[in-house]
Chains A and B, each alone.
Chain A
């Protein structure tokens, strides 16, 4: 293999990702950043938490992803009475033909490639935590037996930020396990027009399969090989540290309003997502711009506000924006 092959490969990745986006755009109107975020999660082996008011196309987006990737997709609507066994699976007693009985593990909807955990905050913490092992270890344990989930495995959870009554906000440990938290905004008038056109006529576009499971696995391996320079890595670390109150990098806003900052998973997420982002653009190295581009989805759910922050309705996004402004790029002087 020569270096031009690797360049070709990088370009090929770009082409593939562009094709994926184009195909998904047939179904999903707008939300380009969300689509890219979900793809980054997929190729980095992470999970995404999508937050947005109802009707913005969260479920549609995930279904569409399953279609274009030729992967199995499952959907679980989380409710307060949903039990862990409902998602993991359970042992059932099977009557055999010869009169014998057999206890067999019946796989739950978790055994899939793309899992849509719809309104995850409506389930009890017990059920939510059942996802923990699957998300982190990509294994499921039932009745003392551990089952390995098929790769790729990605959980795309959604939650509704306005209907908080009767919900169980995700614990910090579970939030930290999500690679990205993507926030969906309202579409523009033009986008709404296109949505109406697509959904109120007899024609319903159907996306074609762009990538198979093997290619997804290869791309995941390729992302990890993208080199990152020391100063870019240091920049990612500094961004993560800057969200921690009391750290030397902490900004005044962080010190004032933040209870807990990003764990090491924060910079990890920044670097991995930066690599994927660089490869999506056909580059073979990570730039500081890549890190900056993914800082919001990587860190916004890892910044936990204190009482004062909650009382003053400070958003984690505003704190991260301040962090990005104040943490200097490499070879720059510290600002403010």
Chain B
């Protein structure tokens, strides 16, 4: 029974030793910093993974639903946001020194020495045991390599990152690669580029018009033209969307150009103003037709069957006019025009006055607007495409309504007979009918603005004249 020394009173206490305390506290702070950095990295990787997954989904939806923003930029933004958010969350995740030291103890096999010592930092008087623990811990931590205590761990999601990354790259790059294939030259890409420039030119003209005349509709049209131009350039819209928007814009642009034309006619002879005024409208339409028409082989923008070889062909489904449509079809079945309903619409043979055509019996295409003067260059040209169906802009819905004010809306061929009803009377009658229909909500919501604009522009033209 030889023990080294007589066992003294264990209750004896020691003053705190500053050196050990500082060593332990400093190392704990270092380890905590390292834990935060690693947590930030780990969370950033996880954020990247989820961002990539979201980017894949977005890219997929982009191709599916035709969203109006560039897919690459959006995907990159989402991934960036995911990474950044993860990094921030990781850095802000609650960590404390003691927990870090407990994990460090486990990793180092130091049997809770560091964490026990850290718990003793705030005690003022210590037993011999506690002081010995502090000294041992300080000795251990003095030359401790933080990399051993807090090693970099590979995030579990890291090995899964290549999957969404590859999927996103494929979804993003394949369409771009297809555009650069040799056969892509046969596509209407180049022509579409030219067409977009033309659209921008028309937009500029419209803006100038707006500045001169303080017309609120023209800048809006110009803006829409520009947007369409950009979308066509970036290829973010599909053929049906492009066609639908162009149809809307074409109608709107023509209304604005008609406004311009009317203004010019008030000051210059019609023969001088008309070619200039219609140059934009025709260019817009023709450009679109040519640009899309040449894509028939590749079918990337428009279905071949939906595009007319000759837009002047009255039998073409592309050939419709707002003026004529409304004038001919929004009637009680007693119109003066002898029009034939196209496709599956009812045949229209009633007598009645042709909407528009002030004076001379109009040829088809001449009476674009009621009371409009016939212009030679406008012959055979559709003045406006009626867009009643968002899925297929060329197909105008036949709407059978109740009451006697709006029987049908059909695409009709113009008659060859002179109008027998006065322009003012026609306008008044149609305006009344349209207002009545709008009040009774018999016009679809998406078409109301066209009806309103139509009569608004007519009244403005008349006012300008």
Task: For chain B, give the interface size range.
Answer: 20 to 34
Across the interface, name the chain A residue whose C-beta is closest to B99: A331
Q: How far is it, in angstroms, between the C-alpha of A12 and the C-alpha of B127 when the chains are bound?
A: 18
Q: How far is it, in angstroms, between the C-alpha of A9 and the C-alpha of B5 when the chains are bound?
A: 8
- Give the number of residues in A that approach B within 8 Å (Cβ atoms): 38
Contact A226 B7 (CB under 8 A): no
Residues A1 and B111 in contact in the complex (CB < 8 Å), given A9-B4, A211-B1: no
> Which B residues, 1 to 22, have Cβ-Cβ distances below 8 Å to chain A?
1, 3-5, 7-8, 10, 12, 14
Query: Does B135 have its Cβ within 8 Å of any Cβ on chain A?
Result: yes
Residues on B with C-beta less than 8 A from A222 are 7, 10
Q: How far is it, in angstroms, between the C-alpha of A12 and the C-alpha of B6 when the chains are bound?
A: 12
Contact B115 A231 (CB under 8 A): yes
Residues on A with C-beta less than 8 A from B127 are 225, 227
Contact A285 B113 (CB under 8 A): yes
Interface residues of A, dominant DSSP: helix
Residues on B with C-beta less than 8 A from A331 are 98-100, 102-103, 106
Query: Does B128 have its Cβ within 8 Å of any Cβ on chain A?
Result: yes
Q: How would residues 1 to 26 of chain A score, 1 for a CB under 8 Å from any chain B CB and 0 otherwise?
A: 11111111110100010000000000
Q: How far is it, in angstroms, between the C-alpha of A226 and the C-alpha of B129 when the chains are bound?
A: 7
Residues on B with C-beta less than 8 A from A164 are none
Q: How would residues 223 to 234 of chain A score, 1 for a CB under 8 Å from any chain B CB and 0 otherwise?
A: 001111111100
Residues on A with C-beta less than 8 A from B115 are 229, 231, 330
Contact B128 A1 (CB under 8 A): yes
Q: How far is it, in angstroms, between the C-alpha of A189 and the C-alpha of B117 when the chains are bound?
A: 45
Q: How would residues 75 to 108 of chain B score, 1 for a CB under 8 Å from any chain A CB and 0 otherwise?
A: 0000000000000000000000011101101100
Q: How far is it, in angstroms, between the C-alpha of A271 and the C-alpha of B253 when the chains are bound?
A: 87
Residues on B with C-beta less than 8 A from A330 are 99, 102, 115
Contact A215 B3 (CB under 8 A): yes
* Closest beta carbon of chain A to B73's beta carbon, Å: 39
Q: How would residues 103 to 135 of chain B score, 1 for a CB under 8 Å from any chain A CB and 0 otherwise?
A: 101100001110110011000000111111101
Residues on B with C-beta less than 8 A from A218 are 3, 7
* Closest beta carbon of chain A to B114's beta carbon, Å: 10
Residues on B with C-beta less than 8 A from A82 are none
Residues on B with C-beta less than 8 A from A227 are 116, 120, 127, 129-130, 133
Contact B111 A283 (CB under 8 A): yes
Contact A3 B116 (CB under 8 A): no
Q: How would residues 136 to 149 of chain A score, 1 for a CB under 8 Å from any chain B CB and 0 otherwise?
A: 00000000000000
Residues A3 and B135 in contact in the complex (CB < 8 Å), given A212-B1, A232-B112, A329-B106: yes
Across the interface, name the chain A residue whose C-beta is closest to B112: A287
Residues on A with C-beta less than 8 A from B4 are 5, 8-9, 12
Residues on A with C-beta less than 8 A from B100 are 331
Query: Does A286 have its Cβ within 8 Å of any Cβ on chain B?
Result: yes
Query: Does A163 have its Cβ within 8 Å of any Cβ on chain B?
Result: no
Contact A229 B103 (CB under 8 A): no
Contacts A229-B112, A231-B119, A285-B116 given; 4 further ones with Cβ under 8 A? Answer: A3-B14, A230-B119, A285-B133, A287-B105
Closest 9 CB pairs of A and B: A287-B111, A229-B116, A331-B102, A6-B128, A287-B112, A331-B99, A3-B132, A225-B10, A285-B116
- Identify the A interface with B (CB < 8 A): 1-10, 12, 16, 210-212, 215, 218, 221-222, 225-232, 283-290, 329-331
Could you list 26 A-B pairs, sorted by A, with CB under 8 Å? A1-B128, A2-B128, A3-B14, A3-B131, A5-B5, A6-B132, A10-B132, A227-B120, A227-B129, A229-B116, A230-B119, A231-B98, A231-B115, A231-B119, A232-B116, A284-B129, A287-B111, A287-B112, A287-B113, A290-B111, A329-B102, A330-B102, A330-B115, A331-B100, A331-B102, A331-B106
